[in-house]
């Protein structure tokens, strides 16, 4: 549970967590205008919208690198630091890598309470220690809004890299956590969240994706993977579909959701990031004929997640084995759909079908 603090961190910022990211459409428009890089050792760069970059340093070894930081989405500083660390580490896990070192990224008011900053950094160090990832240093700047996170470097086998471009027709889709952190933390910011909603959301956001990644790398048949963060299930699903040239079919009722997520939506706790995600992805999403998806459930599909689940595209014959292995390891994984077709933008086919 959150501890009592004289300053509510969520009241000091306009948007919290991964909901504070730039709108995906705006970011994509900028990235598409940048010149191509020609370095044969850069195995994965920003052009594929993957979770982290991969750089080859030896025939059998590569670096995996990412950076992630954001504004507070909970009021307790220590908890905020834990969530920021877990979220940054997740990008490495999503590629199949092992984190080694990290650098803290800190934006903090000049006249801010240094005890709050200490607790934020203690929380981050707590999760980095759990991940066996050394904090080697960092960088700070003065800023009116608090922001915190990490640049993380890890190692990865270049022959065993999971990207969002690996999904194959016929694969099953598995999700490793429930979604709903965006709307629940928005309800918290608005003072309308039930304590149990927040407690469950914090438990999810502070849980590392380390165990899930370790299980996934041991199962044959995994073709692609991404983690679900600021662009929501639909935004990151769109990236996987387009990068792989496939259509994802999502069985909406099977998508695990946090207690209180739909209630938060009904209360109007809609983060701006959710609306931006919907604007960006709606044009490539269709509902299956005969589907009757409740509006609040459909809305949740666009919710920006912080330290969210892994979305795995795995061969259908290996899907149940993977799900059981994850569940045996304490990961509440669920099958949420399949790779149902080929995506061709010029034909007007959707990238995602909701059923």
DSSP code, position 257: B
Q: Which two tokens stand for residue 120?
A: 């934020």
Those residues whose C-beta lies under 8 Å from the C-beta of residue 260, and which sit 6 or more positions away, are 180, 184, 187, 193, 194, 196, 197, 200, 201
Look-up: residue for tokens 């059923």?
Answer: 355
- Is 283 one of the annotated active-site residues of the chain? no
* Count of alpha carbons within 13 angstroms of residue 166, beta-carbon side: 23
Classified as helix, coil or strand, 199 is helix
- State how far the Cα of 117 lies from the Cα of 6, in Å rounded to an integer: 14
Closest of 311, 304, 300 to residue 259, by C-alpha: 300
Calpha distance 150→240 (Å, rounded): 25
Instruction: List the alpha helices (DSSP H) in the chain.
Output: 24-31, 77-95, 114-130, 181-189, 195-205, 210-216, 232-244, 261-266, 272-281, 295-300, 316-328
* Residue 339 to residues 7, 106, 165, 247, Cα–Cα distance (Å): 46, 40, 12, 6
**Cβ count near 35 (within 10 Å):** 5
**Angstrom distance (rounded) from CA 226 to CA 231:** 12
Residue of 18, 107, 133, 283 marked active site = 18
Residues identified as active-site = 18
């Amino acid at each position: 549970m959150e501890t009592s603090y004289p300053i509510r961190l969520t009241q000091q910022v306009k948007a919290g967590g991964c909901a504070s990211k730039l709108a995906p459409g705006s970011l994509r428009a900028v990235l598409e205008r940048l010149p191509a890089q020609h370095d044969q050792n850069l195995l994965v760069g920003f052009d594929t919208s993957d979770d982290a970059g991969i750089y080859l340093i030896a025939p059998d070894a590569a670096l995996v690198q990412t950076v992630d930081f954001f504004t507070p989405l909970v009021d307790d500083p220590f908890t905020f630091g834990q969530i920021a660390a877990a979220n940054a580490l997740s990008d490495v896990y999503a590629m199949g890598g092992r984190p080694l070192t990290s650098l803290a990224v800190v934006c903090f008011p000049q006249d801010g309470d240094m005890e709050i900053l200490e607790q934020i950094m203690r929380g981050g160090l707590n999760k980095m220690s759990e991940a066996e990832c050394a904090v080697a240093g960092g960088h700070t700047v003065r800023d009116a809004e608090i922001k915190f996170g990490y640049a993380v470097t890890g190692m990865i086998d270049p022959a065993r890299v999971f990207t969002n471009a690996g999904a194959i027709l016929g694969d099953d889709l598995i999700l490793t956590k429930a979604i709903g952190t965006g709307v629940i933390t928005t309800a918290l910011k608005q003072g309308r969240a039930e304590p149990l909603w927040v407690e469950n959301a914090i438990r999810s956001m502070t849980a590392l994706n380390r165990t899930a990644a370790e299980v996934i790398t041991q199962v044959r048949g995994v073709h692609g993977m991404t983690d679900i963060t600021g662009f929501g299930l639909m935004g990151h699903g769109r990236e996987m579909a387009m990068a792989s040239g496939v259509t994802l079919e999502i069985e909406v009722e099977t998508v695990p959701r946090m207690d209180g997520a739909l209630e938060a939506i009904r209360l109007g706790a809609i983060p701006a990031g959710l609306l931006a995600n919907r604007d960006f992805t709606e044009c490539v999403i269709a509902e299956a004929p005969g589907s009757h998806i409740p509006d609040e459930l459909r809305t949740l599909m666009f919710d920006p997640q912080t330290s969210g689940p892994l979305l795995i595209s795995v061969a259908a014959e290996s899907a149940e084995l993977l799900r059981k292995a994850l569940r045996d390891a304490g990961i509440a994984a669920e099958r949420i759909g399949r790779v149902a077709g080929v995506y061709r933008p010029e034909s007007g086919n959707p990238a995602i079908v909701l059923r």
